[in-house]
């Protein structure tokens, strides 16, 4: 069930072309991402991704408690996209957020994070994907100690 939906607007009230939908349960958000990604809305394709406010709210996401659900991924190829990383980890379970970290100049740092909704799925990812190659690089997958 959707808690809230809003369209982001400019100062003049015109749509920025994006919006935010907040769901009660993480599984509902994951389902919306799976089913609505690249669907057509008012004649235009939409792109859906997960987001968690790092300032708090939304259950355990953003509260500073990782519970073993956020993974730190090292040794990424510099041309790996967040979508490729997410697709690589998706078979292990429902993913809330993927981020590839960048330096202030915009250059990718070669590491990122994958946040699963369930600890069991994160543990599966560590077990099955640590040491597995993505784009010619052997990944190092660990629980993110800093989240």
Highest-confidence segment of 37-41, 62-66, 72-76, 91-95 = 72-76
Gap between the Cα atoms of 99 and 48, Å rounded: 15
Q: What is the pTM of this model?
A: 0.58
**Residues 73, 112: contact at Cβ < 8 Å?**
yes
Burial of 62-82, coded b for 16+ CB within 10 Å and e otherwise, reads: beeebebbbbbbeebeeebee
Report the phi/psi class of residue 75: left, alpha or beta, with left for phi > 0 and alpha for psi in -120 to 50. Answer: left
Mean pLDDT of the chain: 82
């Amino acid at each position: 069930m959707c808690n809230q939906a809003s369209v982001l607007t400019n100062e003049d009230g015109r749509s920025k072309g994006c919006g935010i939908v907040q769901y009660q349960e993480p599984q509902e958000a994951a389902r919306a991402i799976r089913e609505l990604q690249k669907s057509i809305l008012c004649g235009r394709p939409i792109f859906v991704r997960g987001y968690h406010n790092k300032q708090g709210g939304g259950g355990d996401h953003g509260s500073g408690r990782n519970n073993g659900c956020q993974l730190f991924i090292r040794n990424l190829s510099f041309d790996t996209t967040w979508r490729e990383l997410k697709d690589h980890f998706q078979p292990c379970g429902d993913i809330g957020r993927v981020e590839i970290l960048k330096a202030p100049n915009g250059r990718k740092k070669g590491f990122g994070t994958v946040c699963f909704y369930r600890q069991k799925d994160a543990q599966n990812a560590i077990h099955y994907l640590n040491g597995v190659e993505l784009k010619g690089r052997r990944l190092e997958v660990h629980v993110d100690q800093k989240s």
